[in-house]
């Protein structure tokens, strides 16, 4: 049977079919090989750069190196604000396999607060890929150990050592230096984001904020190689950061501490200036607070305690507190009266202990009416009016000058506008005039209000820093400078900016300053009590400003007035009288009168001229 079957096979046809199948297979194989070759070519040649970048991202990442913040030192180089090492625990979200579970674990290990978790969530939302977001700052070695020992079980967690801000003198300098705090969303909107990558803090108030741009510096970068778990293997390339510049202040730490001690528990402020350049030698506001509380985030309870305190410790009274200047404006008005020929050094005014505007039955009392039952003398001249702070004399001068002339006279001394001192949130006070009242209150000005302004009461308000600047004008007989806390930024000198000089006759300056010398050294001077044992000549002026109004026929009895409604005490001074080396202003808030302020000024001036005379 095989023979006939073989005879029936179409060998040619079978060969043709097999050949076609073979060709089809070869073509298929060739096509597959072509696809593989093309894909290989595409991966290795065409898309080489893209896949190399992705590969490097898995192996190499860019880390930000935050800059070291500049330090702040006093005039003698003593550290007032510095940086100290601390540990930070952070998270790289891309490395975390289960971020919610990781956060729960870290919350148990580190006792994270809701504030810290909220800050972390904000950081996660703003970060760039593979950027470390801090979750706990300021850890000690024991706390770090609880995390470091199990890092292999905490993918995405990193522990780093960083520098954080520290204020060695706590509350003594808080209102001068201010403080840094954690960067908020509001901060990020105002700051240059690229300059603050990797930075946790920024200046919030005071010098820390005013000089943020020079204190902060610029960040650096490094390319690092990591393993599959994100652990650092080596640094491939590094661009170091540019550190912030240091600030050297005019301020003297010893004088600052002496001023704070002299003020004691009294609410108030002390400002001391160098009349030769406007440098701030001391600036105390009491009560104060510990700036270190704010660096890593103050608790809601602690902040609420500070914010709601009746003593307002967060208020920088030296530049933000606005008070009626009281009789401290009398030397300024005397100079204005002399320069505009309203008075001469020989002009006298009858003083029965009160003053009455022509055609008005109301009596405006002198402070001596309550104490002595009458005035200072039958007739009072300018020198006596300054030395004994005669209100009647200045009622008469104010009435004749008028409020608008008074405003014109006081404005060159710097009242009614910020001094420009290099800090934050400075207030400008109020220098009243008819225009001011019309614009601010929509009311006309009344003659009786002029008399109140003539003794520094009524609507008139000034900060201690403004009074210090005005006193500097007196001390230098017309020349002055914009007050400056900072003396040098790095190697560059700042400050010492002169103000427009106030030109007056030398004999007018001399006459007014003689009256101010009598305030301290005269037998009946209002600050004569501090002259005992003094070894130099001080020129000063006391001031008392009312907190509450007293009816026309009522008598102010301090013991019957609540402590917070008692009069403020003020004292402005400079010394020595010739070639002054220091200007001092003291505010004793609710101190009852100038007697609460004068001893503080004496202590500060004594320290500068005697104990610190080598400066």
Residue 58, pLDDT above cutoff 60: no
Whether residue 302 sits in one domain with residue 228: no
Residue 46 lies in a domain: no
Position 122 confidence tier, pLDDT thresholds 50, 70, 90: confident
Q: What is the CATH number of the domain that holds 114?
A: 3.90.1310.10
Residue 339, pLDDT above cutoff 50: yes
Residue 34 lies in a domain: no
Residue 307 lies in a domain: yes
Annotated active-site positions, please? 327
Residue 206 lies in a domain: yes
Whether residue 162 sits in one domain with residue 117: yes
pTM for the whole structure: 0.83
- Which of these, 437, 449, 458, lies nearest to 546 by C-alpha position? 458
Whether residue 223 sits in one domain with residue 205: yes
Q: What is the CATH number of the domain that holds 260?
A: 3.40.710.10
DSSP-assigned letters across all residues of 95-138: G-SSHHHHHHHHHHHHT--HHHHHHHHHHHHHPPTT--EEEEEE
Distance CA 421, CA 585 (A): 15
Whether residue 278 sits in one domain with residue 386: yes
The reported pLDDT for the residue numbered 64 is 77
Candidate ranges 30-44, 113-127, 511-525; pick with highest mean pLDDT: 511-525
Strand locations in 338-475 (E): 348-350, 354-355, 364-365, 379-381
Mean pLDDT of the chain: 88
Domain final position from 215, 233, 249: 249
Residue 314 lies in a domain: yes
H helices present in 127-211, as ranges: 141-148, 174-177, 185-190, 206-210
Identify any residues that bridge with 134 across adjacent strands, giving them in sequence order.
Answer: 90
- The range of the structural domain enclosing residue 154 comes to 61-249
Residue 257 lies in a domain: yes
Whether residue 327 sits in one domain with residue 310: yes
Whether residue 394 sits in one domain with residue 262: yes
Whether residue 285 sits in one domain with residue 242: no
Residue 57, pLDDT above cutoff 70: no
Question: What digits encode the pLDDT tens for the residues 64-86?
Answer: 788 999 999 999 999 999 998 88
Whether residue 275 sits in one domain with residue 394: yes
Q: What is the mean pLDDT of residues 141-168?
A: 81
Position 155 confidence tier, pLDDT thresholds 50, 70, 90: confident
Distance CA 546, CA 524 (A): 23
Q: What is the mean pLDDT of residues 462-481?
A: 98
Number of structural domains the chain divides into: 2
Helix (H) or strand (E) holding 605: helix 598-606
Q: What is the mean pLDDT of residues 41-65?
A: 67
Residue 157, pLDDT above cutoff 60: yes
Residue 158, pLDDT above cutoff 90: no
The reported pLDDT for the residue numbered 44 is 76
Peptide bond into 576 cis (omega under 30): yes
The reported pLDDT for the residue numbered 188 is 75
Whether residue 292 sits in one domain with residue 200: no
Residue 150, pLDDT above cutoff 60: yes
Residue 480 lies in a domain: yes
Residue 25 lies in a domain: no
Question: What digits encode the pLDDT tens for the residues 531-563?
Answer: 999 999 999 999 998 876 555 555 555 565 677
Tell which wins on pLDDT, 229 or 142: 142
Whether residue 346 sits in one domain with residue 230: no
Residue 615, pLDDT above cutoff 50: no
Domain final position from 217, 249, 281: 249
Whether residue 272 sits in one domain with residue 159: no
Whether residue 591 sits in one domain with residue 491: yes
Domain final position from 196, 230, 249: 249
């Amino acid at each position: 049977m095989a023979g006939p079957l073989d005879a029936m096979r179409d060998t040619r046809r079978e060969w043709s079919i097999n050949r076609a199948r073979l060709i089809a297979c070869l073509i298929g194989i060739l096509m597959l090989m072509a696809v593989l070759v093309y894909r290989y070519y595409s991966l290795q040649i065409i898309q080489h750069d893209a896949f190399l970048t992705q590969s490097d991202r898995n192996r190499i990442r860019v880390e930000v190196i935050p800059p070291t913040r500049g330090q702040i030192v006093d005039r003698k180089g003593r550290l007032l604000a510095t940086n100290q090492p601390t540990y930070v625990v952070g998270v790289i979200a891309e490395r975390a396999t289960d971020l919610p579970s990781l956060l729960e674990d870290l919350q148990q290990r580190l006792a994270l607060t809701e504030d810290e978790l909220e800050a972390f969530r904000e950081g996660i939302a703003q970060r760039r890929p593979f950027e470390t977001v801090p979750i706990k700052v300021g850890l000690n070695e024991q706390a770090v150990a609880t995390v470091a020992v199990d890092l292999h079980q905490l993918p995405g967690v990193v522990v780093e050592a960083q520098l954080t801000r520290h204020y060695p003198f706590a509350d003594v300098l808080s209102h001068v230096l201010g403080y840094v705090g954690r960067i908020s969303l509001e901060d990020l909107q105002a700051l240059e984001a690229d300059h603050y990558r990797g930075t946790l803090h920024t200046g919030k108030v005071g010098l820390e904020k005013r000089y943020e741009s020079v204190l902060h510096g610029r960040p650096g970068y490094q390319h690092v190689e990591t393993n599959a778990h994100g652990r650092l293997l080596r640094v491939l390339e590094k661009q170091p950061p540019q550190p912030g510049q240091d600030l050297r202040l005019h301020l003297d730490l010893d004088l600052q501490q002496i001023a704070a001690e002299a003020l004691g528990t009294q609410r108030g402020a002390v400002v001391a200036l160098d009349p030769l350049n406007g440098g701030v030698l001391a600036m105390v506001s009491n009560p104060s607070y510990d700036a270190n509380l704010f660096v890593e985030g103050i608790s809601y309870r602690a902040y609420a305690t500070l914010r709601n305190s009746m003593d307002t410790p967060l208020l920088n009274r030296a530049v933000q507190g606005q008070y009626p200047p009281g009789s401290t404006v009398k030397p300024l008005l005397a100079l204005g009266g002399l320069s505009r020929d309203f008075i001469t050094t020989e002009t006298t005014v009858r003083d029965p202990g009160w003053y009455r505007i022509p055609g008005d039955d109301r009596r405006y009392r002198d402070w001596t009416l309550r104490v002595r039952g009458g005035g200072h003398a039958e007739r009072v001249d300018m020198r006596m009016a300054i030395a004994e702070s005669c209100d009647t004399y200045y009622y008469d001068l104010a009435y004749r000058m008028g409020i608008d002339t008074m405003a014109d006279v006081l404005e060159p001394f710097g009242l009614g506008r910020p001094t420009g001192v290099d800090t934050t949130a400075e207030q400008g006070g109020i220098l009243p005039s008819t225009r001011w009242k019309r614009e601010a209150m929509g009311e006309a000005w009344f003659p009786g209000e002029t008399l109140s302004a003539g003794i520094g009461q009524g609507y008139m308000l000034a900060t201690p820093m403004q009074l210090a600047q005005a006193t500097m004008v007196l001390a230098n007989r017309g020349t002055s400078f914009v007050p400056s806390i900072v003396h040098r930024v790095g190697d560059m000198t700042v400050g010492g900016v002169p103000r427009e000089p106030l030109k007056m006759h030398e004999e007018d300056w001399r006459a007014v300053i003689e009256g101010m010398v009598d305030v301290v050294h005269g037998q009946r001077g209002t600050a004569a009590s501090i002259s005992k044992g003094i070894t130099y000549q001080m020129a000063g002026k006391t001031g008392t400003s009312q907190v509450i109004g007293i009816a026309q026929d009522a008598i102010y009895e301090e013991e019957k007035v609540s402590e917070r409604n008692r009069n403020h005490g003020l004292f402005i001074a400079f010394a020595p009288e010739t070639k002054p080396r220091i200007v001092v202003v003291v505010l004793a808030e609710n101190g009852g009168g100038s007697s609460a302020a004068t001893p503080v000024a004496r202590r500060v001036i004594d320290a500068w001229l005697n104990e610190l005379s080598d400066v």
